[in-house]
Amino acid sequence: MAVFRGVRTRVLLIAALIAVIVTVTGGSLLIVRDRVRRQVAQDLSADLTHSLSTFQNIQRQRRDVLIRENELLADLPSLKALMTTGDKRTIADGAIDLWKVSGSDLFALVDAYGRVLIVYTKGRPPSETLVEALQQTMTRPQEHYLTADGRLFDFSMRPLYFGGEAQGTLLGYVISGYQIDRNVIGLIGHASGDDAAFLAGPNIVASTLSPELQQELLLKFPSLLSTVSGRNAEVVLGGDHYLGTGADLSGEAEGQLRLVVLKSFAQANRSIREINRLVLLLGAAALVLGTLLMITLSRIVTEPLELLAQGVRAFGFGNPSHGLPDNGTREVRELSTAFARMRGEIIMTNRALLDSERLATIGSMASSVSHDLRHYLAAVYANAEFLSSARLSQEERVELFEDIQLAVHGATELLDSLLIFSKTGVAFHRERDSLLRIAEKAVSLLKAHPEAEGVSIKMECDDPSGGYALVDPKQMQRAIYNLLLNACQSTHRTPPPREVSLVISNAGDTVSVTITDSGPGVAEHIRNSLFEPFVSEGKQSGTGLGLTLAHAVAKEHGGTVTLVSTRPGETVFQLSLQFNFSGVGATTPS
C-alpha cells in the first residue's frame, strides 16, 4: 500500500472510472461508434445541466456555511458590547480584530437605523461605491450577491440583539461575505472540470477563463442569452467548441447577474478518438485492470475512512482519545490530521470558555461592589479635603468629621453585608424602622456626591408616624440612595432648574417611596429592560447597576420598584413595600 501514499484520490477515481467505461462500452463502441458521435452532444448537454445544478448546490452550501458563521459572529458578546458603545471610531477600531478572526473577505457593521458604520475588505480598500452598494442592500434583505469595484461578493447579513432575538434590543447588523473570484469558482467547478463565469450587466466580474477567452465571451454573449431560460447554446472560444448553459441570479442581486457554465467539446472529441484507436487492443485488458484497480482502491480508501468515522463518533460520545488513521491516500491522511487538530482546539476552547465564565462572574461582582463603594470613598475624599483648610471653625470641622464617619460606616456596612451573604446566604437583617429616617440618611450621604451638585432635593412624608415598615435599614438606605442618585443624574441632562422630590406615603398595608425628577425622561427603547444589569442611557458616568440593585433590595423585601410614568420634565419611580413582610432572616425588635 505504500506505493499509493502520495497519489491523490481523485487521480485514482478517474483512472478507475476510465477503466470501467472502457471495459463496459468497448465492445459496443465498435458497433455503434457512429451513433456515439451523434450522442455526444446530448450527453454533454445533460452533463452540463447537471454541472450547473451541482455548481449552484455547492454555492448554496457555501452560503449556508457563511450564514452559520455569521450567526456565530452575531452571538459574540464582544461584538455586542462593541456595538453598544455607539461610537463609530471605537467600533471601527474594535472591529478590526473581529474581522481578522472571522477570516471574511468582506466585513461590515451597520447600526440599528441601517447606516453603514465600517467596511473592511481583503485586497484593496473598500470604495465609496462599495459602501453605497452595501447601504442599498439594507432595503433588500433577499439579496445575497453584491457587485462593486469590479468585484463580486456572496454575503450574509445578521441582526445583532442585546438579549434574546424575540424581546431583545436591536443593536445593528453584521455583514460578512467572501469574494467570488477565479480561485473560488475553480474550487467549486473542480469536480466537474467545467469553466464558469459571473456576468454583472455587460462585465465579467469572476471567471475561470483566461483574459483572452473572457473578451471573446463578452463579444459572443448575446448568443448565450437563451441559456438563462434553460436552453444550451454552442459557442467557439479560442478555436475550441464549448457547450454553454446558465442561470439568472438577478433576483438575488441588484441589477443583472448571470452565471454561465461552459463545457468544452475537446475532452469528448479526444475520448471518441481514443476509444476508436484503443477499443480493440485494450478491451480485454481494461476489464481485468478495472476490476483489480477497483478492489485495490476500495481497500486503500474505505478502510482508513471507516477508522476516521469511528474516531469522529467516539469524539461525539465524549471520548477524545480514540485513535485516528495515519495511512491511506493523501486526502484521507490530511483529513485525519485536520480532525485531530480540530479536536484538540475544541478541547482547549471549552477549557478557555469555562475560565472566561469564571472571570466574568468575578468581574460582575466587582462592578456591583465598586458601584456603591466608590460613592462612600468620594464622600470621605471630599470632606477630607475640606478638613485640610485652616479657615474652618471647630463646628464646621465637627460637621465634616461626622460626614466622614457616615461615609466610612456606610462602606463598612456594605462590606459586612457582602461578607454575611457570602458566608450564610442571608444578607438582610430586618427590623421595624422609619423610612423617613432612612431617606434622610440617604439624602445626607447623596449631598456629598458630585452628581447632586446644583440639584434641589425636597422631601415630604404624608405618614405622621414616619412611614414605618419591616426593613433592613442598611439595604433600604442603599436602594433609596441609588434611586435618588439615578434621579440626580437624569436632571443633569436638562437645563436648570434641576429638581428631585421624595414623597413617603401609605395606603392600606403598603408604604411607598415616590421619587420624581425633572429630567428628560426614560428612553423608550430601554424601558422594558430598565432594571436589568448594565442598562444605561445618556449618562456620563455610572455602570447601569443602580436601578438593578434598588429593584433587587425591594424584591427581597417583598416589594417592587416600578417606573410609574415618564415624559420630558417629569419621571416618576416608586418603591413599594408591605408593612409586615418578614421574608427570610427577618427579626423584630425586643
d(CA 484, CA 515): 7
Extended strands (E) in 84-163? 106-111, 116-121, 145-148, 151-162
Q: Which of 409, 413, 405, 424 is nearest to 369 (CA)?
A: 413
Q: Is there a contact between 82 and 94 (Cβ–Cβ < 8 Å)?
A: yes
Which pLDDT score is estimated for 224? Answer: 60
Grid cell at residue 262: 461552459
d(CA 208, CA 197): 7
Alpha helices in 118-257 (DSSP H): 128-137, 182-188, 211-219
β partners of residue 563: 573
Give the rounded distance of the alpha carbon of 263 from its chain centre: 41
Q: Which of 474, 502, 505 is nearest to 488 (CA)?
A: 502
Which pLDDT score is estimated for 286? Answer: 63
Local structure of 235: helix, strand or coil:
strand
Residues 227-262 have pLDDT tens digits of: 545 567 777 888 787 877 777 787 788 778 888 888
Long-range contacts of 92-95 (CB under 8 A, 24+ apart): 92/117, 92/118, 95/120
d(CA 371, CA 547): 11
Which pLDDT score is estimated for 499? Answer: 93
> The whole model's pTM is what?
0.40
Q: What is the DSSP letter of 525?
A: G
Which pLDDT score is estimated for 537? Answer: 65
Which pLDDT score is estimated for 480? Answer: 92
Cis status, amide bond into 497, omega within 30 of 0: yes
Q: What is the largest CA-CA distance in the chain?
A: 124
Torsion, Cα of 263, 13, 186, 212 (10° steps): -50
Which pLDDT score is estimated for 292? Answer: 67
37 half-sphere exposure, CB direction, 13 A CA radius: 7
556: buried, middle or exposed (CB in 10 Å: 19+, 13-18, 0-12)? buried
Parallel, antiparallel or unpaired: strands 455-461 and 498-507: parallel
Task: Split the chain (590 residues) into runs of 10 and give each run's mean pLDDT.
Answer: 55 63 63 66 72 78 86 85 85 85 87 87 86 84 83 88 81 88 73 75 83 80 57 78 78 80 75 69 64 66 75 79 78 81 84 69 58 74 78 80 75 57 51 90 84 88 86 88 89 89 88 92 83 63 66 86 91 87 44
Which pLDDT score is estimated for 574? Answer: 93
Q: What domains are there in the chain, each with its CATH number?
A: 1-267 (3.30.450.220), 340-423 (1.10.287.130), 430-581 (3.30.565.10)
d(CA 22, CA 451): 89
β partners of residue 511: 506, 577
- How many other CB atoms are there within 10 angstroms of residue 586's CB atom? 19
Which pLDDT score is estimated for 584? Answer: 44
d(CA 52, CA 73): 31
d(CA 459, CA 487): 14
Which pLDDT score is estimated for 364? Answer: 56
Q: Which of 440, 444, 463 is nearest to 512 (CA)?
A: 463
Q: Is there a contact between 220 and 213 (Cβ–Cβ < 8 Å)?
A: no
Angle, alpha carbons 142-145-149 (nearest 5°) = 140
Q: What is the tally of helices (H) and strands (E) in the chain? A: 12, 17
d(CA 118, CA 96): 10
